[in-house]
Amino acid sequence: MTLDETTSESLFDRAKQVIPAGVNSPVRAFGSVGGTPPFIASASGALLTDADGHEYVDLVGSWGPMILGHANPRVVDAVREAAGRGLSFGAPQTGEVSLVEELVRRVRPLRKVRLVNSGTEATMSALRVARAATGRDVVVKFAGCYHGHVDALLAEAGSGVATFAMPGSAGVTEGTARDTIVLPYGDRDAVTSLFAERGGEIAAIITEAAPANMGVVTPPESFNAFLAQTAHAAGALLITDEVLTGFRASAEGYYGIDGPTAGGTRAADGAGAPPVGGSDWAPDLMTFGKVIGGGLPVGAFGGRADLMDLLAPLGPVYQAGTLSGNPLATAAGLATFAGLDDAAYAQLARTSSTLQSLVADALTTAGVPHVIQTAGTLFSVFFREQPVTTYEDAKDQDTAAFGRFFHALLEGGVYLPPSAFEAWFVSTAHDEQIVDRIAQALPAAARAAAQG
């Protein structure tokens, strides 16, 4: 074999022969920014090393999970140790109980939880429970919110669907599409009039707790509480998707930011009536993924005990998984949670806010219109002048400027999400030195963005 066999270029060529677009998830193909994606050979802390020997400061963090940085020694040791005890049992094991106890301890509305293998599985299953519980078919989602590649939830979705400007997905049946109603994000009037007209048909509203797959959109004040109240008044449920924001926006996800403040009443449990919204609100079901697996495939859905007890074998809703609650995955998740203390969140908040200032300074100096939006420690940068409150806004940005900015940063050794529609992810491994490396690369990238 020639030396050339090991470059990202040659690996990408090889991949494209046998994997559609050469990738196993669309955004990785660099389709919207152009060029060849670096093939990653290894990663440690805040750094990635590609097959060509280039090193990058990573601001993708595997799209969220790597909140303690790559190859965190505690997480790797936990996984190694678990591996020595067996890779999968298809039977109950301690780690899954401990991981679910950790979730229930950290997130107030969670009474019971099932583990699955991805965020997609979590939202798909939560939706099935909601439909079973209500005996209704219709689900309401918001444009620009992404909930994984569930048939019913791909209409006007964020993430890769936004990156490639797709209205939805082919292969979704008309019947499925008919049962999904898409509303503009943050539009209380649209929600109210839809429920006035069709409230009795609606099983659930599903929303990202804070949208972060069209870039980050800060939810309007008490919007999630309003959704809970509106859904409950019509006998429908609210599902908040915290696959991305969970244990990232804050220690309790976005619910830790817009849920009732400490000391408030806890969520309704199986026996109680659903909460009525206002300041004392809770979703009926929640979904998680990303951070909770620490880099291994884990998702989770949970919430009210009465709803979760509808699952087989207690109830009529079938849901299962050969590898669900996998011992390696739960070990990685538990070790990740062990590192997520108050100090870790304080550091994530500091790093996030420092980076925001650095980016704003660089873009302002170069005269590049931009808006930075946040949801707790999450943030993203839009290449436009006005704030983004809806998917329409998010699509109306200078993606070409983003592409130039992206490639100049990559050249400068900083790996951003290859899309203008994604959050930037920091980890506890992003220390001052790492932030300094990003600061060094920013001015040239901002100038490249300006050269339209």
Ligand X SMILES: *Cc1c(COP(=O)(O)O)cnc(C)c1O
**Residues carrying an active site annotation:** 146, 241, 290
Q: Segment near ligand X (CB under 6 A), from 104-112, 144-152, 348-356, 424-432?
A: 144-152
Instruction: State which of residues 7, 118, 180, 373 lies at the interface with ligand X (CB under 6 A).
Output: 118
Q: Return the residue matching tokens 């022969």.
A: 17
| 350 touches 334 (CB < 8 A) | no
What tokens does 182 get?
A: 């898409």
Residue 396 is classified by DSSP as S
| 359 touches 426 (CB < 8 A) | no
Q: Name the residue type at position 262.
A: A
Instruction: State which of residues 93, 123, 351, 427 lies at the interface with ligand X (CB under 6 A).
Output: 123
Instruction: State which of residues 114, 147, 370, 407 lies at the interface with ligand X (CB under 6 A).
Output: 147
Give the integer Cα–Cα distance in Å for 178 and 128. 16
CB of 244 to ligand X, least distance (A): 3
By CB under 6 A, tell whether 148 contacts ligand X.
yes
CB atoms within 10 A of CB 367: 10
CA R_g for the chain: 21
Using the minimum distance from each CB to ligand X, give the nearer residue, 241 or 258.
241
Using the minimum distance from each CB to ligand X, give the nearer residue, 144 or 403.
144
By CB under 6 A, tell whether 250 contacts ligand X.
no
Q: Segment near ligand X (CB under 6 A), from 237-245, 271-279, 382-390, 401-409?
A: 237-245
**Under rule CB under 6 A, which residues in 150-209 are in contact with ligand X?**
208
Q: Provide CB contacts within 8 A for 85, sequence distance 6+.
A: 327
CB of 337 to ligand X, least distance (A): 18
Q: What Cα–Cα distance (Å) separates residue 359 from each residue in 51, 256, 403?
A: 28, 27, 15
* Burial of 71 from C-beta contacts in 10 A (0-12 / 13-18 / 19+): middle
Give the integer Cα–Cα distance in Å for 384 and 399. 9
CB of 216 to ligand X, least distance (A): 11
Using the minimum distance from each CB to ligand X, give the nearer residue, 294 or 412.
294
Compute the residue count for the chain.
Answer: 452
Give the per-residue contact string, 71-110, with ligand X (x = CB under 6 A; - = no): ----------------------------------------
Using the minimum distance from each CB to ligand X, give the nearer residue, 106 or 404.
106
**Under rule CB under 6 A, which residues in 213-232 are in contact with ligand X?**
213
Give the per-residue contact string, 280-299, with ligand X (x = CB under 6 A; - = no): ---------x---------x
Minimal CB distance residue for ligand X: 119
By CB under 6 A, tell whether 241 contacts ligand X.
yes
Instruction: State which of residues 237, 243, 300, 363 lies at the interface with ligand X (CB under 6 A).
Output: 243
Cα angle 410, 416, 418 (rounded to 5 degrees) comes to 95
Using the minimum distance from each CB to ligand X, give the nearer residue, 242 or 398.
242
Instruction: Tell me the three-class secondary structure of 105-122, residue by residue.
Output: HHCCCCCEEEEECCHHHH
What tokens does 11 get?
A: 């690996």
CB of 254 to ligand X, least distance (A): 10
CB of 424 to ligand X, least distance (A): 14
CB of 330 to ligand X, least distance (A): 16
Q: Provide CB contacts within 8 A for 193, sequence distance 6+.
A: none
CB of 396 to ligand X, least distance (A): 22
Tell me, rounded to whole angstroms, the distance of Cα 169 from its chain centroid. Answer: 20
Give the integer Cα–Cα distance in Å for 210 and 220. 10
Using the minimum distance from each CB to ligand X, give the nearer residue, 182 or 449.
182
By CB under 6 A, tell whether 120 contacts ligand X.
yes
By CB under 6 A, tell whether 336 contacts ligand X.
no
Give the integer Cα–Cα distance in Å for 164 and 253. 28
**Under rule CB under 6 A, which residues in 394-413 are in contact with ligand X?**
none
Using the minimum distance from each CB to ligand X, give the nearer residue, 120 or 377.
120
Using the minimum distance from each CB to ligand X, give the nearer residue, 289 or 325.
289
Cα angle 335, 341, 342 (rounded to 5 degrees) comes to 165
Q: Are strands 237-241 and 202-208 parallel, antiparallel or unpaired?
A: parallel
Instruction: Return residues touching ligand X (CB under 6 A).
Output: 118-120, 123, 146-148, 208, 213, 241, 243-244, 289, 299
